Structure 1
Amino acid sequence: MTTVSEKLLTRAEETGTPGPAEPPDRAVPLLSLRGVRIADGSDGREIVHGVSFELTPGKVVGIVGESGSGKTLTCRAALGILPPHFEVTGGSVEIEGTDISTLTPTRWTALRGATISAVFQDPASYLNPSLRIGRQIAEVVRVKKGLGRRAARERVLALLRAVHLRDPELVHDQYPFELSGGMLQRVLIAAAIAADPRILVADEATTALDVTVQAEILDLLADLRERAGLALVVVSHDLAVVAQLCDEVLVMRRGEVVEQGPTRAVLDDPRHDYTRLLISEHEQYGLEKFLGRPGEES
């Protein structure tokens, strides 16, 4: 089976753009959350109240809501990296049909990066400022893929080209502080797909970026999905991001999913007052152009 990065890199090396995806398989969901509940073990308070969704190849699920609504905790539960004192107290999380509660630390190490990977909001927090970019991505490639130094360097350069970084040879030898926010986010995406994951969690990955760079990152995520069949979970407080990219949306408030369904159906005909409030707040920022409502300028 052709891997995600092989599809991307082959096409990127030839033309600078990712290659076409194979038809997605329709077997066991890649990621499945069923009634997931998360509590703060220090005081017993339940923070997330029963989140459910399924992710199949090529599908994009969006999770939106205000700060503190439980979006990030839900994703961290799926990644097996809940903060100290927090724990899943109900429901289940399965990755490719395996309940993650049964995974040993060794098995988790094998899965992270290779099956499920993530990109977070602040790239500077996830990159070592004292190491060159190329070395940091090469470490992922060498550990996860077992490549030698020369092969790892070539793969890193191809990954940097695949995420549309200009002059990848220069970026390869630069330090994080020498790159812009948008470039750093692309570097994180390159590192995240380096070991051919089937699932990518993007947690507020475009929040700190200006509008132009945000649009470029969203286009890149769309390429990963459409051309390589990568499944995405996109966490955002921005409905325009969800409208542009996601097939299904979960609207969260105070740890509860108050509305869930196909993105277009939820945004066109919201049933919950909180969803209506989010839409009204975002319409002033141009949400309509992503919805393409009749009679509106494109």
Structure 2
Amino acid sequence: MATLSTNRVPGETLGHGPGAPPDPRSPVLSLRDVRISDQADGREIVHGVSFTLTPGKVVGIVGESGSGKTITCRAALGILPAHFEVTGGSIEIHGTDIAELSPARWTALHGLTISAVFQDPASYLNPSIPVGAQVAEVVRVKKRLGRGAARRRAVELLRAVHLREADLVYGQYPHELSGGMLQRVLIAAAIAADPRILIADEATTALDVTVQAEILDLLADLRERTGMALVVVSHDLAVVAQLCDEVLVMRQGEVVEHGPTGRVLHAPRHEYTQLLIAEHERYGLEKFLDPKLDPKEEA
């Protein structure tokens, strides 16, 4: 299996120099009482979300559709839809408030420090360009490599995300690949510039159970080998149980429960969390829970 490089070319990133190992105690992403409003009608749709992410850690955000999970992550990525604005609190990446970032700094930041993988990968890939060329373009722009070196790196990345016959896949078009293969391609593009933070927003929702498990294993592997921090957005508690260190449960724009994953899933305090867990039991959530874990130790 290919190994992902932890070396970085010179570029504008926050909180560290090129190639510098992340401080495991220093937050890479912090949200403090973040509030988001729709300026078209003045409604506040996210009400005071807070969490801190350190290197190598995984924070899960769960909740029903419309609970505010995705819009919160889009705020952290600086890509809120038109009319939506952060109207309270703060979002910091490596200690820098993103409200202070110019468009040019955001462009430099994306991919190098923070990146994302979304649901429905086909929507984020150009159907008229081979997938490998699209990954190579990210490498060429963000890592400042020549075309030949970018192609070699892209093939290495396709191997790293467990795509067989990566050289062949490099030249294939999106319509020639399965959903699971496309999701791997999107992950390859997202990690091409060795970001410190990866936001996976419902990245496994449209996949069958077997492929979903493979993608989750891949994300866990990337975390272990690179120290990358993850935000995993899902409506599936089994996904969170498998991958996350802590979890936020959101409902109607509000965090109703937040804590270590073991405590929240073993001893939920909010009735909505209890309902979510009850609904997920039939999907085998219990197989991911450690019965030896004492919730009081993580309270």
Instruction: Give the TM-score taking structure 1 as reference length.
Output: 0.91
Say which SS state the counterpart of residue 109 (structure 1) adopts.
helix
Corresponding residue for residue 95 of structure 1: 93
Corresponding residue for residue 6 of structure 1: 5
Distance in 1 between the 2:102 and 2:188 partners? 27
Q: Residues 166-245 of structure 1 correspond to what in structure 2 (within 5 A)?
A: 166-245=164-243
Say which SS state the counterpart of residue 75 (structure 1) adopts.
helix
- Does the 8 Å CA contact 2:6/2:194 hold for their aligned counterparts? no
Distance in 2 between the 1:216 and 1:91 partners? 37
Corresponding residue for residue 275 of structure 2: 277
Corresponding residue for residue 149 of structure 2: 151
1:104 matched to 2:96: no
Say which SS state the counterpart of residue 5 (structure 2) adopts.
helix
Distance in 1 between the 2:105 and 2:265 partners? 39
Say which SS state the counterpart of residue 5 (structure 1) adopts.
coil
Identical counterparts, % of pairs: 79
Distance in 2 between the 1:134 and 1:239 partners? 33
Runs of at least 5 residues in structure 1 that lack an aligned partner in the other structure: 9-21
Q: Give the AA of the match of 1:244.
A: Q
Q: CA deviation at 1:27?
A: 4.5
Deviations 1:212-233 (A, max 9, x none): 0000000000001112111000
Q: Residues 36-115 of structure 1 correspond to what in structure 2 (within 5 A)?
A: 36-115=34-113
1:263 matched to 2:255: no
Question: Number of residue pairs matched?
Answer: 278
Distance in 1 between the 2:260 and 2:145 partners? 41
Corresponding residue for residue 284 of structure 2: 286
Runs of at least 5 residues in structure 2 that lack an aligned partner in the other structure: 8-19, 293-299
Distance in 2 between the 1:217 and 1:23 partners? 26
- Does the 8 Å CA contact 1:24/1:58 hold for their aligned counterparts? no
CA RMSD of aligned residues (A): 1.4
Distance in 2 between the 1:7 and 1:286 partners? 36
Instruction: Give the TM-score taking structure 2 as reference length.
Output: 0.91
